[in-house]
Structure 1
Amino acid sequence: MNIIGIDPGKSGGIASINAAGQAAGDVMPIIGKEIDGHELARILTAASPGLVIIEKVGAMPKQGVTSTFTFGAGYGRLLGVCEALGIPYRLVTPQAWKKRVLAGTAKDKDAAIAFVKRAFPMVDLTPGKKRVPHDGIADAVCLAEYGRQLMAKGAA
């Protein structure tokens, strides 16, 4: 069974971990300046996940009204795609998944990148022509790992 992790937002990522513990990740599918709901639905349908873990987020301080609205619309699109496809999902706060997956670290973006490089070295954190690791993909892999650990404990 595949577990999917989603770091929401245009610069977020989507990742999966299968039953054998193999992980893969990619950037959030975007069309224009918005999350591509059709492509997201295609990705999720192809992965046939048993569970999707989505980072539970809210408005960020000092973020403009327009960007907050755009982010919220994209977040709603993620939830709507899961609902429409009948895929079970769980919203998880950053504090919860970082406490479990990044225990003993600074629990920041660099810690997530380091964790993925160590635990899942086959995941490409620099897709395309990027030189700097994509923290959205790293966070998505960590979210999927959080879901895998929940499933292993029977807590999902």
Structure 2
Amino acid sequence: MIVGIDPGQTGGIAYIDDASGSSHAMPMPVTGREIDGHELANALRGRSIRTVIIEKVHAMPKQGVSSTFKFGMGFGLVIGVCEALGISYRLVTPQAWKKVVLAGTAKDKDAAISFVRRAYPSVDLTPGRKRVPHDGMADALCLAEYGRQLMVKGAA
């Protein structure tokens, strides 16, 4: 199984079972206004995960110090959970995975949503009562797809 994680409160977690071809995505678990590390660990624990592909994020221009620190804490939490569970992971820049998975598109959130709808039509990007597709879940599935393609090429 290959897992993709778009870190952050509005991110997502996605799974592609390379043996069965099944896939699933979910929003990043949060408690209050922070990532829920316990629930994240539960989402990863007990699965036969080959690797986790985590989007390598960085501070954005004009982002406040407080929000940058909070975002970095969430990113570190995701890595810490993988480390604690002994799951191998790879950090991948948005530019790298988008170049491969979203080739020939605008490489934006809408392109990721469109890709998921075409490649993984069984995945519901509107969890709960949402009407608008969850772009964090779409990005997470694109990250997992990037990892799947690396595995196929033997590069991971």
Q: What TM-score bracket applies, with the shorter chain setting the length?
A: over 0.9
Q: Equivalent residue for 2:2?
A: 3
Cα distance in 1 for partners of 2:28, 2:46 equals 15
Q: Equivalent residue for 1:89?
A: 89
TM-score (norm 1): 0.97
- 1:123-134 matches, within 5 Å, as 123-134=123-134
Q: Equivalent residue for 2:38?
A: 38
| 1:135 and 2:129 matched | no
Partner deviation per Cα, 1:39-59 (whole Å, 9 max, x = no partner)? 111110133311000000100
The amino acid across from 1:7 in the alignment is D
Structure 1 unaligned residues grouped into runs of 5+: none
Structure 2 unaligned residues grouped into runs of 5+: none
Q: Equivalent residue for 1:72?
A: 72
Identity %: 72
In structure 2, the residue corresponding to 1:112 is in which secondary structure?
helix
TM-score (norm 2): 0.97
Cα distance in 2 for partners of 1:44, 1:63 equals 30
The amino acid across from 2:124 in the alignment is D
Partner deviation per Cα, 1:60-116 (whole Å, 9 max, x = no partner)? 111111111111011100000001111000000000000000011111100000000
Using the TM superposition, give the Cα deviation of residue 22 of structure 1 relative to its aligned residue in structure 2, in angstroms: 1.6
In structure 2, the residue corresponding to 1:54 is in which secondary structure?
strand
Give the aligned length: 155
Q: Equivalent residue for 1:152?
A: 152
After superposing on structure 2, the runs of 4+ consecutive aligned residues of structure 1 that deviate more than 3 Å are none
The amino acid across from 1:76 in the alignment is G
Cα distance in 1 for partners of 2:65, 2:5 equals 24
The root-mean-square deviation of aligned C-alpha atoms, in Å, is: 0.7
